[in-house]
Amino acid sequence: MPFDHNDHYHDLLLRELPRAGRRALDVGCGNGTFARKLALRGFTVDAIDADGDVIATAREQAGALELPADISFEQADITRLTLPPNTYDYISCLASFHHVPLETVEKLRESLTADGVLVILGCYRETTAADHAVSALAVPVNAAYRLAVFAREQLPAHRRSTLRRLPEAPVAAPRVSLAQIKEYASARLPHSEIRRLLFWRYLLVFRNGRGAGVR
């Protein structure tokens, strides 16, 4: 198994799960790894992805498990989908937000419950010296992680041949810089927190209700 930058940050995203929450939406779910982790924590999950192949794999993988909560996998384009208002306690976008216009965040916010949480594990376009410096630092650390994962995942040859390669989730180059994302979030997601992560990602956390003085 390769070292996956999105999977690496799952625990960070799971720390933001609201304790009383029950329903989650995962946008651009890919092969469904994160959606399964949400279901394992008791969340009923709607997981959507625009790509039919990854949705088929996600359904198959989840169907082979006994999960404590349901996941509904749907092939859908978030930019065209009408989301029910005030419905989700937790909405996640893992490496998918840069595939869609920034304004998509509006419909995600509207679909959060009063205390709902939106988390975006995002990719950004590198434009500043700081972006390039962090990126350069990430390269050797990434190589070390890859080596460690490679060594740990070494399997006997007979087992390796039985492993199936999953379809790659579609990727896209990010067009928006971190500064632009911060500017947009400060206008449209008041009190959201954004921090840069090492492996070419940022984490945005928006807790609904904060701006209205609920918390």
Ligand X SMILES: C[S@@+](CC[C@H](N)C(=O)[O-])C[C@H]1O[C@@H](n2cnc3c(N)ncnc32)[C@H](O)[C@@H]1O
- Which window, 13-21, 37-45, 56-64, 75-83, contacts ligand X (CB under 6 A)? 75-83
State in angstroms the smallest separation of the CB of 104 from ligand X.
8
Rounded distance between C-alpha atoms, residue 6 and residue 187, angstroms? 26
Which CB, 2 or 133, lies closer to ligand X?
Answer: 2
Could you say whether residue 50 binds ligand X (CB under 6 A)?
yes
Out of 39, 91, 95, 189, name the contact with ligand X by CB under 6 A.
95
CA dihedral (43, 73, 205, 215) positive or negative: negative
CB of 40 to ligand X, least distance (A): 16
Sign of CA dihedral 17, 68, 71, 199: positive
Which strand (E) or helix (H) includes residue 75?
Answer: strand 71-75
The yes or no reply on residue 6 touching ligand X (CB under 6 A) is: yes
DSSP 93-134: EES-GGGS-TTHHHHHHHTEEEEEEEEEEE--B--SHHHHHH
Q: Is 21 an interacting residue with respect to ligand X (CB under 6 A)?
A: no
Using CB under 6 A, list all residues that contact ligand X.
6, 27-30, 34, 48-51, 54, 77-79, 94-96, 99-100, 169-171
